Amino acid sequence: MLEEKVKVALNNVRPSLQADGGDVEFVSMSSDGTVSLRLTGACGGCPMAQQTLKMGIENYLRQEVPEVTSVVGV
């Protein structure tokens, strides 16, 4: 159920990433609320990828799905 909420929220973020030639892929969610994501395309090799994950995606996911505690890239 939580994973589905995260995936729905990621679909709201996806168009912004795709506009820059990238995308985000859900990998897993742990019991402590840590979401593992993989940035792909142009975002995968971008020097700003960590900032995108933490300042952009993590902040958004935490607003939309309060059970999310952090986001990590894999």
Q: How far apart, in Å, are the Cα atoms of 38 and each of 2, 52, 57?
A: 18, 12, 12
Confidence of residue 52 (pLDDT cuts 50, 70, 90): confident
> What is the domain extent for residue 54?
2-73
Q: Would you say 37 and 26 are in contact if contact means Cβ atoms under 8 Å apart?
A: yes
Q: pTM here?
A: 0.86
Give the CATH number for residue 15.
3.30.300.130
> Residue type for 37, please?
L
> The tokens of 61 are what?
């996911």
Instruction: Count the domains in the chain.
Output: 1
- Where residue 41 falls (left for φ over 0; alpha for ψ -120 to 50; beta otherwise) is left
pLDDT tens-digit series, residues 7-38: 999 999 999 889 988 899 999 999 999 999 99
